[in-house]
A and B are shown apart, each in its own frame.
Chain A
Amino acid sequence: QSVLTQPPSVSGAPGQRVTISCTGNSSNIGAGYDVHWYQQLPGTAPKLLIYGNSNRPSGVPDRFSGSKSGTSASLAITGLQAEDEADYYCQSYDSSLSGAVFGGGTQLTVL
């Protein structure tokens, strides 16, 4: 059972928009800690996609955006492309556990 809760899967057709939610509690997201998002392509290491709730590292397309409100955060992907098919993980810091916590991951399928 992951500390942060994500839907196991989402799907969308090419060109569509999808969102992935990430729900925490008052010890992590709700305490004001930043949320970060990672993309993991099959057989590879996770890659930082969004940091500090809504910032994109250099090289990440602006089709990817992040937001945070209260005890939750969301990742939005617009203009879906086949290459976006991957697992997506949210991550934050938890003060009661004194360490990073991750969501269980969401598998994105591009139909």
Chain B
Amino acid sequence: EVQLVESGGDLVQPGGSLRLSCSASGFTFRSYVMHWVRQAPGKGPEYVSAMSSNGGNTYYADSARGRFTISRDNSKNTLWLQMSSLRPEDTAVYYCVRESNGYNWAYDYWGQGTLVTVSS
């Protein structure tokens, strides 16, 4: 059974930093492109960042570029999102998401999410 378990969400002050983790199991992690997708309260999902299966390529939404860093360790089946210079508008549930191997940019499995709240 595919499982994606996020952790690391917290209440942080504006300008602060946070590191999210995603532990994957039930599939060959090193074979999949992985994403972070967030959802602000009452809003639709928003793509944040993606990393290729071997970690060689990273992709960012404009809202994340320069402030967030995605990384992975295929030996540990773990994906991370390092977030800095956090803003109130970054407040959201952050989901670790697997991209389908057959259809680019289709998200076939989602974690349960971890809540990040940016507030003073």
Contact flags B77-120 to A (C-beta < 8 A → 1, else 0): 00000000000000000010000101111111111110000000
Alpha-carbon distance between A36 and B45 when the two chains are bound, in angstroms: 13
Q: How many residues of A contact B (CB 8 A)?
A: 26
Size of B's binding interface in residues, CB under 8 A: 26
- 8 A Cβ contacts from B34-54 to A: 35, 37, 43-47, 50
Is B1 part of the binding interface, using a Cβ–Cβ cutoff of 8 Å?
A: no
Q: Nearest Cβ distance between residue B66 and chain A, in whole angstroms? A: 15
Q: Does A110 contact B (CB under 8 A)?
A: no
Q: Determine whether A45 belongs to the interface, using a CB cutoff of 8 Å to chain B.
A: yes
**With a CB–CB cut-off of 8 A, which chain B residues contact A57?**
108
Contact with B along A80-111 (1 / 0, CB 8 A): 00000000010111000111111111000000
Asked if B11 is an interface residue, CB under 8 A from chain A, the answer is no
B contact residues around A102 at 8 Å (CB):
44-47
A36: chain B residues within 8 A (beta carbon): 103, 105-107
Please measure, in the bound complex, the distance between the C-alpha atom of A31 and the C-alpha atom of B43, giving whole angstroms.
26
Q: Determine whether B59 belongs to the interface, using a CB cutoff of 8 Å to chain A.
A: yes
Q: Is B107 in contact with A103, judged by CB distance below 8 angstroms?
A: no
Could you mark each residue 22-58 of chain A with 1 if its beta carbon is under 8 Å from any beta carbon of chain B, else 0?
0000000000011010100000111110011000010
Given A97-B62, A99-B61, residue A38 in contact with residue B108 (CB < 8 A): no
Evaluate contact between B44 and A100: CB separation under 8 angstroms: no
With A34-B104, A51-B100, A93-B104 given, can you name 9 additional A-B contacts, CB distance below 8 Å?
Answer: A34-B103, A38-B45, A38-B107, A48-B106, A48-B108, A91-B106, A99-B50, A102-B45, A103-B44
16 contacts between A and B (CB under 8 A): A36-B103, A36-B107, A38-B107, A45-B95, A45-B110, A45-B111, A45-B112, A51-B108, A52-B103, A89-B45, A92-B105, A99-B61, A102-B44, A102-B46, A103-B44, A104-B43
